[in-house]
Structure 1
Amino acid sequence: MKLDVWERIQDMFQRIESQLAEEVRKSSGLGVNEFRTLRTLIRQPKREMRMQELAEFLHLTQSSTTRLVERLEKRGFVYRDSCPSDGRGKYCVLTDEGHRYINKAIPALEATLESVLDSFFAAEDARSAVRELSELSLT
C-alpha cells in the first residue's frame, strides 16, 4: 500500500516536472535547471554562489553544473569569478542582463506553474494520491 502511494506520487511529480520543463523551455528558452540557477542567484545577497554549492543545490555533478553555467555565460546571464580566499574555488555570478531576464521571466513562469498544477490536481487520481500521502504521514 505505502509503496503504491509512493510510486503514484513519483509518477505525478515526473509528469508535472516534464510538463513544466516544456513550458519553461517554450516561454523562456531556458531549461528548468538554467531557470532555477538564475532564480537562485537573484535571491543571493551578492547575486553569486560558489559553483560547488550550486551543484549541490541543483543535485547535479560538478561537470553538469559547469556545462549549465557555460550555456548561461554564452547568453550573457552569468560569469564565473575566482574566490578571493581560495584560488581554486569559483563563483557563479548573475550579470545585470541575467537579472533583467529572470525578473521578466518569473511572472510568466509562475503563471505557467499555476496552470500546470491546477490542471494536474483537478484530476481525481492526483487528489486521491495526495489524500493517501497525507494519511501515510499521520500513521
Structure 2
Amino acid sequence: MGSTNTKWLNAEEMRAWTAFLATNALLYRRLDQQLKEDAGLTHLQYEILVRLSLSPDREMRMAELAEALYNTKSGLTYQITQMEKAGLVRRRSCPNDARAVFAVLTDAGRAKLESAAPGHVAAVRELLIDVLTPEQLTALADGLGEASRRMHDRQAADAGTR
C-alpha cells in the first residue's frame, strides 16, 4: 500500500479528499438519523431490506449479503438477529449445504421497506442528488464507480491468491 516515495496530495486532490470524507460521514449520519426517526431502522438495516427485496425469491445467502453490503459476516449476523426479532426477516438453512444460511425478507419486512422508502429517498434527494448538477452527478457516479470497481477487483484478486 505505502512506499517511501509517497506522492503527497496537492491542494485540489486534498480538497476533493476532505470533501468526500465530510460528505460521506455527514450523509451517512443524517440518513441513519432520518431512518431511525421515521422508520425505526438503521441505515444498514434499510439497505438489508432493499437488497433482499431486489433478490430472486426475496432471499440471499448471508455471506453474499455481507459482501454486497461491504460488511463483516458477524456484523451482518447481529443485524439479521435484530431484524428477525422484529419480524422483518427470517433465516432459512440450505438443504444442499448445511453451512449456507439464507436471510429471507418477510411480508412485514417488505411492508416496512415500502413505508420507509419514500422518506429515505426524499432525504437522499434533499441532501445529495438535488444539490448537484447533472454533470456533477455523472462525474460523481463515474469517478466513485471506477474507484469501487478497482477496489473490488483488487479484493477479488487478493482473495484468489490466498
Query: What TM-score, normalized to structure 2?
Result: 0.71
Superposed, 1:1-139 pairs within 5 Å as 1=10, 2-117=13-128, 121=131
- Distance, in Å, in 1 between the alignment partners of 2:61 and 2:129 is 35
1:93-114 Cα deviation digits (max 9, x unpaired): 0011111111121112111222
The secondary structure found in structure 2 opposite 1:4 is helix
Offset of 1:117 from its aligned partner? Answer: 2.3
- Distance, in Å, in 1 between the alignment partners of 2:19 and 2:122 is 25
Two-structure CA RMSD over aligned residues (Å): 2.2
- Specify whether residues 60 and 118 from structure 1 end up closer, same or farther in structure 2 by C-alpha distance, changes over 3 A only: closer
- Distance, in Å, in 2 between the alignment partners of 1:94 and 1:118 is 28
Higher strand share: 1
**Match of 1:77, as an amino acid?**
L
The secondary structure found in structure 1 opposite 2:56 is coil
Q: Can you give the 5+ residue segments of structure 1 that lack an aligned partner in the other structure?
A: none
Offset of 1:24 from its aligned partner? Answer: 1.1
- Distance, in Å, in 2 between the alignment partners of 1:100 and 1:118 is 25
Higher RCO (C-alpha 8 Å, min separation 6): 1
Q: How many residues align?
A: 127
Offset of 1:62 from its aligned partner? Answer: 1.0
Identity of aligned residues (%): 31
Runs of 4+ deviating beyond 3 Å = none
More displaced 10-residue stretch of structure 1: 60-69 or 7-16? 7-16
